[in-house]
Amino acid sequence: MELLVASAIGMLTAVGVYLLLRRRTLPVIVGLSFLSYAVNLFLFAMGRLTIDQPPILTPDRTSYTDPLPQALVLTAIVISFGMTALIVVLALRGYLETGSDDAAIRDDDLVRDFGSDPRAGK
């Protein structure tokens, strides 16, 4: 089982890193999702791999599974879910406003506004 879990984490990370190196926004987002799956599995495995054990320590039990990584994974899943939603919206808005899903910034994107007066930058 160790080999299976370890190679799964490795594969997911490799796919994630490969996709992150793309220049367009959607592959980057998919890559980020793969990385977060990898890290979730990794966190889970850090409580040691045990099967069929309860995550509670009672006086009559000698073996149990570590509940803390499960709590950590839950938090990490929620956070990465929120972040993925945000970055998808961001990429979509960027695509709709500039007409390209290129992740790079071009010089003609450079329209900025300054000053505390709301009308000044227009």
Which residue ranges make up the site for other proteins (CB under 8 A)? 20, 25, 28, 32, 35-36, 38-39, 42-43, 45-48, 68-69, 72, 75-76, 79-80, 82-83, 86-87, 90-91, 93-94, 97-98, 103-105, 109-118, 120-121
Q: Taking the complex as a whole, how short is the minimal distance between the CB of residue 59 and other proteins, in angstroms?
A: 18
Shortest Cβ 94–other proteins spacing (Å): 4
Say how many residues make up the chain: 122
Q: Which is nearer to other proteins, 48 or 59 (by Cβ)?
A: 48
Per-position DSSP letters for 38-107, written without gaps between them: HHHHHHHHTT---SS--S---TT-S----HHHHHHHHHHHHHHHHHHHHHHHHHHHHHHHHS--B-S--G
